A and B are shown apart, each in its own frame.
Chain A
Amino acid sequence: DTGVSQNPRHKITKRGQNVTFRCDPISEHNRLYWYRQTLGQGPEFLTYFQNEAQLEKSRLLSDRFSAERPKGSFSTLEIQRTEQGDSAMYLCASSLPSRSNEKLFFGSGTQLSVL
């Protein structure tokens, strides 16, 4: 499978715990995005990497959220001291933009439930 891979698919945690999600983009893609989606809404942008550099962070990304992309390959998104409001689907997407190809390729997401 050469698509975007996200793990785990589901995560249930208790409030106050830390969680970490992983995203493996398509191998030649240098751009990687994290989005958050709640039920009945469209995805909301969280952060963007070009290679290993984190170039943009949304105001949605509070201090409890941190994302990394070491060596410009896979990326991790960590949420510390989880709150019930963090419950959502976390989506990762990657792209190798060119004039003829600006679309994003999405993973299947990690569904987080904070109890």
Chain B
Amino acid sequence: SQQGEEDPQALSIQEGENATMNCSYKTSINNLQWYRQNSGRGLVHLILIRSNEREKHSGRLRVTLDTSKKSSSLLITASRAADTASYFCATVTVGGATNKLIFGTGTLLAVQP
């Protein structure tokens, strides 16, 4: 089963613009992670934010977390055509025995050159 939803489902922007993707989840979490997936390939980890953190940066990525609203956002600044991919949030649930990640439904980002 999926943890929650992401919106938008699809996003098309021009190179140089910023892209914002939102993720909502259902349970209390230990951490929330964002992954990227190029078409037909495996997922690549981008960034992790813990439940006691509110914002985190990594290069052109900025992630926020609002545990009261059970939501997170991923901002990609100054987007490039190479950023075209699907982006997934994933959560690790509090009390889970296995640290498994539960993924959202994903946002398909298209960056037009």
Chain A 44-74, CB within 8 Å of chain B: the 1/0 string?
A: 1100101000011000000000000000000
Interface of A is mostly: strand
With A55-B98, A56-B100, A102-B92 as known contacts, state yes or no: A44 contacts B1, CB within 8 Å.
yes
| Contacts of B21-62 to chain A: CB distance below 8 A | 31, 33, 35, 40-45, 48
- Total chain A interface residues with beta-carbon distance under 8 A: 29
| Chain A neighbourhood of B106, CB < 8 A | 40-42
With A103-B48, A104-B101 as known contacts, state yes or no: A43 contacts B31, CB within 8 Å.
no
When the two chains form their complex, are residues A109 and B98 in contact, meaning their CB atoms are under 8 A apart?
no
Chain A 13-49, CB within 8 Å of chain B: the 1/0 string?
A: 0000000000000000001010100001111110010
Chain A 93-109, CB within 8 Å of chain B: the 1/0 string?
A: 10101000011111111
B20 in the interface, Cβ–Cβ < 8 Å? no
- Total chain B interface residues with beta-carbon distance under 8 A: 25
A32 → chain B, closest Cβ, in Å?
A: 11
CA distance A104 to B90 in the complex (A): 11
When the two chains form their complex, are residues A106 and B105 in contact, meaning their CB atoms are under 8 A apart?
no
Closest 6 A/B residue pairs (Cβ):
A42-B103, A106-B42, A103-B45, A106-B43, A48-B98, A108-B42
CB-defined A-B contacts under 8 Å, sample of 5: A42-B103, A42-B105, A56-B98, A102-B31, A108-B41
Q: Which residues of A contact B (CB under 8 A)?
A: 4, 6, 31, 33, 35, 40-45, 48, 50, 55-56, 89, 91, 93, 95, 97, 102-109, 111
